[in-house]
Amino acid sequence: MRLALLPLVLVFALAACSKLNMENYQRLKVGQSYDEVVAIVGQPARCDELLGVRQCQWGDDNRNIRVGFVAGAALTLSAHNLK
């Protein structure tokens, strides 16, 4: 029985350690580098680049942080459905 509960406990522990939260979003500032943002919220789920603007998203379409980078610096910041 204990072994069956172990995966469930690990999932809850990892969810509790998520960097995708309002506290970390509020630490983000315009002008921060990509590396500074990654140090706060971890690796992005995806990044797209168009005409020199790199748009990265952490999380999924339901709950996320999005940062737009121009010349390597954060220019736009947005959050959706964070706690």
Q: How far apart are CA 34 and CA 11, in angstroms?
A: 28
pLDDT band at 64 (very low <50, low <70, confident <90, very high): very high
Predicted confidence band of residue 46 (pLDDT cuts 50, 70, 90): very high
* Cα angle value 53/57/59 (rounded, 5°): 180
Ranges of each domain in the chain? 20-80
- pLDDT at residue 14 tops 50: no
Q: Two tokens at 74?
A: 């954060």
pTM of the model: 0.79
| CATH of region 20-80 | 3.30.1450.10
Nearest CA to 28 out of 63, 83, 73 is that of 73
Q: Is the pLDDT of residue 4 over 90?
A: no
